[in-house]
Structure 1
Amino acid sequence: MIPLVRYQSALLLRSQRWLGPVLGYAALMGIGVQPGEPVLDSMGYAAAGLLPVAAWLVRICVTQEPEAARVCAAAATGPARVHLSALLSATGCAALLGLVGTAYVAAVSAPMSGDHKVAVPLGSAALAGLVAAGVCVLTGAAVGALGSRPVLHGRGWSLALTALAALFALVLAPSPAQYAVHALVAGSRTGAVHPAVLPLAAALVLAVVVAAGVCALSPRRR
């Protein structure tokens, strides 16, 4: 599996299609994360921005390979493994963005509550931010996997459905990402840090189930 993931990652880097989601996330961070702002609020914003970015990267990775190359790789290793490697490559790229974004927020934000009256431990805030980033990356990866092939093939309406699903995943209560981001924002009001461990576990289960489903479907509907 590791050689396949390296192959998919190399395709992503060479195609330069990663520029769109990466620059989009950088723009979101530049607009929404200002130096001196409360750290937990900024961590929540940075984590939320990762969800659509992860979904976008998944869509890129599962469609970037030329059809002939995909058929050859599928014949050699199996279509399910090829599809899983694309999902893992996209998720890894989004996770790297989350790590960089969390480090940036920790470096420029004020370790204070939302009203700047209560000190917030920076290490705990950074850990909570990383956990929330992981939740949003995994949820976004699941959204992207469901919104692209082999589940959906039509480019226009599948893109629209993916964007809509990403929005719902951020605002609807059953979503692990919504719980994780809300935990950061709510903690900022009081200065309390609550890492979203249960939402992370739920997001991991969701991502694994979705990945298993779409990989099982890939031999039938490439």
Structure 2
Amino acid sequence: MGRRYGLGGPWVLRGVDLDLPAHTLVRIEGANGSGKSTLLRLLAGIDAPTEGRITGRRVQLCATQEPLAARTVAAAVTGQPKVHLASLLTAVGCAGLLGTAATAIVLLISDPANADHTVRVLLLPAGLAGLLAAACCALLGAAVGALCTRPVLHRRGWSVAATALAALLSLVTSGSPAKYAVTGLVTGSLTGAVHIPVVPLICAAAVAAAVGTVVCRLTSLRG
């Protein structure tokens, strides 16, 4: 395990390998500046190691923009990239559940026909189109959220404002997978033709995967 401050800063601790049994009293000795306080901060979960990891503690994983102490405790156990990936997957899962619930409600309360009730619409293809559109929006929303929060943006005010603006742009900008998927649903409700947004879903998944990979790697540098 090791810890340094900044990208090019000197290593305060490096090559530390400890096995601390539970319910034991351990004394740490060393000269001033040898890294005693840094080691204690790492063990307490206040800071996260730059390299290596600390195992053997029970932690609670939070989503992004949680208190810094909660993130560092989890990161000390499994590393910053994995913790950040877990939070992003949690966000995608929650958005997917909401999208699935919304699609089910729309199917239950809607009349399976176009706007002027001249063309009947099959529920199964319409439901599939709605689920894929919801998944497309969830994936693209996760990519937007990943770019508008830690480690790219640390200030909560800027993060919220940037997320709201970017989410709106993702729905109205030409070429956006989310706009294409939602437009297909709207057009289908008017004409009765069901458009399955397979290509937008693939594009949204690719964007989300690329953004997730980049930001998870950034967490090792920016936290």
Q: Is the structural similarity TM-score above 0.5?
A: yes
Please list every run of 5 or more consecutive structure 1 residues that lacks an aligned counterpart in the other structure.
Answer: 1-5, 12-60
Please list every run of 5 or more consecutive structure 2 residues that lacks an aligned counterpart in the other structure.
Answer: 1-58
Counterpart in the other structure of 1:214: 215
Letter in 2 for 1:63: Q
**SS of residue paired to 2:221:** coil
Counterpart in the other structure of 1:190: 191
Letter in 2 for 1:206: V
**SS of residue paired to 2:64:** helix
Once the two structures are superposed, the pairs formed by residues 72-221 of structure 1 within 5 Å of their partners are: 72-221=73-222
* Cα distance in structure 1, aligned partners of 2:141 and 2:65: 17
Assess if the C-alpha contact under 8 Å between 2:65 and 2:156 holds in 1: no
Task: Tell which deviates more after alignment, 66-75 or 172-181.
Answer: 66-75
C-alpha offsets along residues 74-113 of structure 1, whole Å, 9 cap, x if unaligned? 1221100000000011111111111111110100001001
| Deviation for aligned residue 1:221 | 0.8
| Deviation for aligned residue 1:7 | 4.9
Tell me: CA distance 1:157–1:70, structure 2 relative to 1, closer, same or farther (3 Å): closer
| Deviation for aligned residue 1:186 | 1.3
* Cα distance in structure 2, aligned partners of 1:218 and 1:89: 17
Counterpart in the other structure of 1:34: none
* Cα distance in structure 2, aligned partners of 1:134 and 1:71: 30
**Root mean square deviation of aligned Cα:** 1.4
**SS of residue paired to 2:195:** coil
**SS of residue paired to 1:150:** coil
| Deviation for aligned residue 1:72 | 2.6
Counterpart in the other structure of 1:63: 65
**SS of residue paired to 1:218:** helix
C-alpha offsets along residues 180-219 of structure 1, whole Å, 9 cap, x if unaligned? 0011111222211111000000000000001001100001
TM-score, scaled relative to structure 2: 0.71
Name the count of aligned residue pairs: 165
* Cα distance in structure 2, aligned partners of 1:192 and 1:185: 10
* Cα distance in structure 2, aligned partners of 1:153 and 1:78: 19
| Deviation for aligned residue 1:174 | 1.6
* Cα distance in structure 2, aligned partners of 1:79 and 1:140: 22
Letter in 2 for 1:109: S
* Cα distance in structure 2, aligned partners of 1:163 and 1:69: 25
**SS of residue paired to 2:76:** helix
Letter in 2 for 1:98: G
Larger Rg over CA atoms: 2
TM-score, scaled relative to structure 1: 0.71
- Larger proportion of helix: 1
